[in-house]
Amino acid sequence: MRLRRLHLQAFGPFTDRWIDFGPGLTLLAGPNEAGKSSMLRALTALRFGIEHRSTDNFVHEHARMALGAVVLDREGRELQLLRRKGREPTLSVLASDGSSLPAAADLELQLTGGLKRADHDLMFALDHPRLRAGGEQLLAGQGEIGAALFEASAGVHSLRTVLERLDQQARARLVPRGSTGSVNIALRRHREQHEALRDAQLRPAEWAALRQRADETQAALERARENRAAADLALRDLRERIAVAPLLRTLDDTRAELAALSLLPPSDEDLPRQRIALQTREHELQTARAAQQALRARLDEQLQTLPPGTPRWLEQAAGIDRLVAAADGLEAARLQCRELEQHGQALDRQLEAAAQALEPGAHAQALLARRPDAAWQARLDAATAQLQEQARALAQHLDDLAAEPAAEVPPAELSVSPQALAVQVQALQQRCDRLAPEVALQAGREALQRQRAERHETLQRTALQLGGETIARRALTACPRLEADIDQALRERESAATRLAALAQRIDQIDEARRGRTAERAQLLAAGAVPTDDDIAEARRVRDALWQRLAAGPAAPSAEDRALFAQLLDHADRLADGRSRDGERAARLQALQRALAELDQDRAVLDAQRQALQRDLERQGRIWDEALAAAGLPSLGPQALREWQQHQARHLEAAQALQSVDEALQVLDHRVEAAAAELREALGPMPAGVAPDDAAALLGQARARLQALRERQTALEAQRSAHQAAQQRLERLARQTALRRAAERQAHAALQALLDEDGRGIVLPEDALQALALANARRQAGERLRTLAEQRELQRQRLAQARLVETDLQERAAVLAAALGEPAPAGEALRGWIDRLAARLGEARAIEGERARLQQQRQQADERLAADHAALAEVQAQLRRLCERAGVASPELLPQREAQWQQQREAALRLARTGAMLAEVSRDDEAGLRARLAGTRPADATAADDPAQAQVRLEQRLAEADEVLEQARAADELARRALDAIDGDDRAVLAREGLEQAAATVRAELPHWMRARLAHALLAQSMQRFRERSQGPMLDAASTLFAAMTGEFERLEADAGDDVGARAVLLARRRGGRAIGVEAMSEGTRDQLHLALRLAALAQQRARGLMLPMVLDDVLMTSDDGRALRVLQALAEACERDGGQIIVFTHHLHLLEPARQTLGATRLHAVAL
């Protein structure tokens, strides 16, 4: 299917963009970021659908993505397609009236060629990395021609690597006459185990030697253990001496400090708080003890009311549960037995009927007993298939023979000279070539007019996006804001919005916290008002103010003042007493009130900040609007302005593009007018009916005449070839008819001979179709008889299995009934007996569960009551000792005493920590450690003088002892295993197990080896067959293309060398010089060789009818300008030879004009992106 136009409606960076493609070679050139990659993905998406997670949605969202195209189907009809993103079907055909219909399956098949996306990309797409990889693979394969042709045809790489990997996988398992493969190792192990099995006999002398060896290794192991223990003990002793010395010094210093502080009384930090806490704890414990006593009495009463248990039922609980679970399938098994019995009777009747149909009067079992063997049946099937194939081939051949045409070419038509027609065609072609450039100017004007219409439409669309014609005219003169200004405005607004949101969130948190504090205060005051420290301070302040006023006044205050002062004094004292009575509630209320005040203060601050921020936002908005008005821009927000300015830029671009097209049209009009004057002067008198200045009409008449002459020339040549081919075909068909009739008679005789061997007297009709019908009928009757017999045997087995279910249940129920002392059920009563058994078991379990629960609760109540009693005694003792723990003369000395107590606690903590560290580093007590430090030293004087060197030496000694111990253990283990393994029966069993393991390894590994070898052989054979079949045409086509691309080589050759069986390799022969291999080529030449091979493979695909465009991306990157033009010329010639279409993408814009001049407009369609 040929691609005429591509409509990038909404895909990647493109919006409503049309791209035209030529019938042969199309060159699309554009700079980086021009959208070439998106267009490549669009070509693939057009054929196979837009991917679900397409990355080309950065301009258009997924739901709006769409592609369109104008294509030519296999009949040459022009169709307009539309591909949208979504679920199937996404491909539709657009009609001329704008309606659309889902594309037919045949159209999608033409669009994809029956290929999947990955296969299409391998065969009909080539980019620069894959081109380079192909050149590198040619070098890696040393130009081996089979791999090169196969890889180029399939579009894959590294076939030689695949073959090597398969060979390595096979050799890893089995190497003939080798020893490293897993199968080789298993076979060697099998032989060794076989010999061990024969030698598995006990000899007394050998046992005695092994016994002596085991005793010696055991003694050596004990000595190694003793030496290792001595070295470890010495090392640990040295490490302890090194570690405990500073700890003992710390203990001495700390104890001296504690001795200086030993005369202090015990510390007491908060006596009032301890008293309140102890009294509260005493009340809680008394209440809890009363509640636990009541709970224990209630549990005792519930335990006495429970009925007695049934332990015998609980002992058989597991068996009862299994019986109940198995009883669920009893009725189903009984129903299945009845159904299977009925089915068996029906199968017996069908079996006898099938026997009567096959041979009247015979029984089914007799027929099954004397039925032919499988070999005879296979021969019968093969003979029947052979006769059927020969009959079908003869009938098809006769139909082809009857369809052969009998008409002959008139002799008058064959007498025309082809040389005269060729002279006329050549003369007329030269005249058309002189007229074509003039007509091309007019075609260019039509393209410019279409381009002007498209750009005018784009200008109108961008004007609508800006908001209308009025705003669009203003947009042409408006000064856009810088992106930095817009970003700054967006950041300022986002920052302000973020701060406002944070302030609002903080205010909401404060309101939520205030509601919680208010609710907590109301709950606290629900038990009655309680004075706080603030209330007491306020009362005392009023009292003290009155006292100061009275003290500063007359010597004898008035009675009202004295009464007021007494009232204020009494009020302050009552508040203080109330605070003392309910200190905890007062403290909590005081804290809540202060927290509420702080929350109110914080909220007022946040409200002021929010109002200031809102005013700042309004001021920034006014400044922004004034700046937009001064620049001639609409009043929009920063983000909306950014989008409007993007539309403004596209509008300016569209206006400039329209202006450039108008200027090009004016220049083209002048060129067309000049070309028309030259045409009138060159042609002279015009034919009748043709205007003097209508060069297109004259060129059209000349081309029509040229086409008619070519068609007549082609028709005459075809008639001559058809006449000769028809005569040869008739003769060949006559010979084939005789051969096919003889083959049919031979197959008929072979089938009759096989039926005679059966001895049933079956005679086949002479007609092949009737003979086939009779043979097939007998075979189908025998097959039905065998099928029914197999079904009957399967039915008998299923019936026996179904009857076993009820028998098993009866046996298990009898055993359980005997254990429970119950009568065993029988027959239909089994199901009801099992249900009653399950009900009684449930009752017993419920009673035992309730008893266990109540006993556990009573035990927990006893434990809690004992704990509460002990805690209450302890609290009461602590209350009695409170007054005995004070130790200062006045409250002013308490801070000094508390500092002394803190110093005493820190010293005690340091003493305990040092003692714990001392216990961690040594197992001896303090006295023992001091005695060891003051006593003897190690015998080694150097180690005693230098503890670090002594520790290194002892560590080395311990490492050596560990190594000797490990060796002794290994030797003892080997001796013990040898002694244990000398038992003849055990060795035989182990040897037999080894034999089985080795055989299992061989059985498991051989299939993998066979698959690897088979895959290697099939792939190598496929490459060889492909080379033998396609080497000639592919190598000729590739040679022509490679010579045209490079200009330095004249052809490609295949060289097998002088060695027998050597691989054939590709050689390139220089013009007038020697042939070189791929290793002597440059990187660019190897790339062009791979491209030539791919194009030759593409020609093979197109010869088989797969007419899909070839897409090449940046394949000219490693070519200079001269060679790039030669590559394009070779691609154009390839399109002309096989009628295909090739699309080339490149970023080399400078190649467009040289390519147009070299190839011309008829062979190259160039598009600048």
Residues 6+ apart with CB under 8 A from 1016: 163, 166, 167, 170
Bigger pLDDT: 884 vs 734: 734
Task: Please spell the DSSP secondary structure of 84-127, one letter per residue.
Answer: ESSSSP-EEEE-TTS-EEEPPHHHHHHHHTT--HHHHHHHHEEE
pLDDT confidence of 64, banded at 50, 70, 90?
confident
- Residue 70 has a pLDDT of 92
pLDDT of residue 156 exceeding 60, the answer is no
Q: 147-156 b/e with 16+ CB inside 10 Å = b?
A: bbbbbbbebe
Structure-token match 């043709």, residue found: 690
Q: 459-476 b/e with 16+ CB inside 10 Å = b?
A: bebbbebbeeeebbeebe
| Mean pLDDT calculated for residue range 42-56 | 85
- Residue 69 has a pLDDT of 92
Report CA 238 to chain centroid distance, whole Å.
60
Q: How far does the chain reach from its first CA to its final CA, in angstroms?
A: 24
Dihedral, CA atoms, 722, 725, 726, 728, nearest 10 degrees?
170
DSSP 1116: T
- Residue 941 has a pLDDT of 42
Instruction: Look up residue 714 and give its two tokens.
Output: 């082609």
Helix (H) or strand (E) holding 169: helix 159-173
Residues 6+ apart with CB under 8 A from 102: 89, 91, 92, 93
pLDDT confidence of 36, banded at 50, 70, 90?
confident
What is the arrangement of strands in the sheet containing 2-11, beginning at the earlier edge strand? 14-20, 2-11, 66-72, 78-84, 91-94, 100-102
Instruction: Look up residue 798 and give its two tokens.
Output: 């299923």
**What's the CA gap between 1090 and 1041, in Å, rounded?**
11
pLDDT of residue 1141 exceeding 60, the answer is yes
By C-alpha distance, which of 169, 68, 59, 2 is closest to 1014? 169
By C-alpha distance, which of 613, 654, 348, 338 is closest to 501? 613
Instruction: Look up residue 578 and give its two tokens.
Output: 């109330």
Strand pairing category for 1075-1076 and 91-94: unpaired
Q: What angle do CA 405, 408, 413 make, to 5 degrees?
A: 140
Exposed, middle or buried, 77 (CB in 10 Å: 0-12/13-18/19+)? exposed
- Residue 461 has a pLDDT of 81
| Mean pLDDT calculated for residue range 437-456 | 70
Exposed, middle or buried, 849 (CB in 10 Å: 0-12/13-18/19+)? exposed
Instruction: Look up residue 972 and give its two tokens.
Output: 């003892």
- Residue 1142 has a pLDDT of 92
* Cβ 326 vs Cβ 813: under 8 Å: no
Helix (H) or strand (E) holding 5: strand 2-11
pLDDT of residue 683 exceeding 50, the answer is no
**What's the CA gap between 1159 and 1135, in Å, rounded?**
13
* Cβ 217 vs Cβ 209: under 8 Å: no
Instruction: Look up residue 531 and give its two tokens.
Output: 């004075």
pLDDT of residue 682 exceeding 70, the answer is no
pLDDT confidence of 883, banded at 50, 70, 90?
low
By C-alpha distance, which of 248, 251, 249, 260 is closest to 903? 260
Which residues, listed in sequence order, are joined to residue 126 by a DSSP beta bridge?
1112
Residues 6+ apart with CB under 8 A from 682: 434
Helix (H) or strand (E) holding 11: strand 2-11
| Mean pLDDT calculated for residue range 984-993 | 60
Residues 6+ apart with CB under 8 A from 884: none
pLDDT of residue 617 exceeding 90, the answer is no
Q: How far is CA 797 from CA 332, 340, 794, 802, 942, in A?
A: 17, 10, 5, 9, 91
pLDDT digits (tens, 9 = 90+) for 494-531: 888 888 888 888 888 888 888 888 888 888 777 777 78
Instruction: Look up residue 965 and give its two tokens.
Output: 């111990």
- Helix ranges (H only) for 938-983 are 941-945, 947-981
User: pTM of the entire structure?
Assistant: 0.34
* Cβ 183 vs Cβ 1001: under 8 Å: yes
3-class secondary structure, 359:
coil
By C-alpha distance, which of 55, 51, 75, 60 is closest to 11? 60
pLDDT digits (tens, 9 = 90+) for 80-93: 898 888 877 788 88
pLDDT digits (tens, 9 = 90+) for 715-729: 777 777 777 777 777
- Residue 26 has a pLDDT of 93
Long-range contacts of 821-827 (CB under 8 A, 24+ apart): 821/312
Instruction: Look up residue 643 and give its two tokens.
Output: 């989008």
Q: Which amino acid is at 107?
A: L
Helix (H) or strand (E) holding 611: helix 583-630
Structure-token match 């434990």, residue found: 863
pLDDT digits (tens, 9 = 90+) for 697-709: 666 666 676 677 7
By C-alpha distance, which of 791, 837, 790, 788 is closest to 812? 837
Mean of all residue pLDDT scores within the chain: 76
**What's the CA gap between 136 and 977, in Å, rounded?**
58
pLDDT digits (tens, 9 = 90+) for 364-374: 666 666 566 66
- ω into 692 cis (within 30 of 0): no
- ω into 89 cis (within 30 of 0): yes
* Cβ 71 vs Cβ 16: under 8 Å: no
- Residue 895 has a pLDDT of 55
DSSP 410: -
Domain ranges of the chain: 208-264+901-981, 415-468+654-730, 482-528+538-630
Q: At what angle do helices 128-140 and 1083-1103 cross, to 10 degrees?
A: 100
**What's the CA gap between 127 and 132, in Å, rounded?**
9
| Mean pLDDT calculated for residue range 606-618 | 87
Task: Please spell the DSSP secondary structure of 545-579, one letter per residue.
Answer: HHHHHHHHS-SS--HHHHHHHHHHHHHHHHHHHHH
Q: What angle do CA 35, 38, 42 make, to 5 degrees?
A: 135
**What's the CA gap between 825 and 814, in Å, rounded?**
7
- Residue 1144 has a pLDDT of 92
3-class secondary structure, 698:
helix
**What's the CA gap between 352 and 363, in Å, rounded?**
7
By C-alpha distance, which of 141, 143, 148 is closest to 1077? 143
Q: Given phi > 0 = left and psi -120 to 50 = alpha, else beta, which region is 170?
A: alpha
* Cβ 707 vs Cβ 428: under 8 Å: no
pLDDT digits (tens, 9 = 90+) for 1066-1094: 888 888 778 888 888 888 888 888 888 88
- Residue 554 has a pLDDT of 67
- Residue 476 has a pLDDT of 77
Q: 533-570 b/e with 16+ CB inside 10 Å = b?
A: bebbeebbeebeebeeeeeeeeeebeeeeeebbeebee
* Cβ 667 vs Cβ 475: under 8 Å: no
pLDDT confidence of 1062, banded at 50, 70, 90?
low
Q: What angle do CA 223, 229, 232 make, to 5 degrees?
A: 140
- Residue 753 has a pLDDT of 75
List strand residue ranges (DSSP E) for 801-953, in order.
Answer: none
pLDDT of residue 178 exceeding 60, the answer is yes
pLDDT digits (tens, 9 = 90+) for 241-298: 777 777 777 888 888 877 887 777 766 666 556 656 776 887 888 888 888 888 888 8
By C-alpha distance, which of 260, 259, 254 is closest to 915? 254
Which residues, listed in sequence order, are joined to residue 522 by a DSSP beta bridge?
none
DSSP 1117: T
* Cβ 1078 vs Cβ 138: under 8 Å: yes
Within the chain, how many helices (H) and strands (E) appear? 33, 14
Strand pairing category for 1065-1070 and 1075-1076: antiparallel
pLDDT digits (tens, 9 = 90+) for 861-871: 888 888 888 88
Instruction: Look up residue 609 and give its two tokens.
Output: 């900040």
pLDDT digits (tens, 9 = 90+) for 106-152: 888 888 887 888 877 877 888 888 888 877 777 776 545 555 555 55
Bigger pLDDT: 178 vs 184: 184
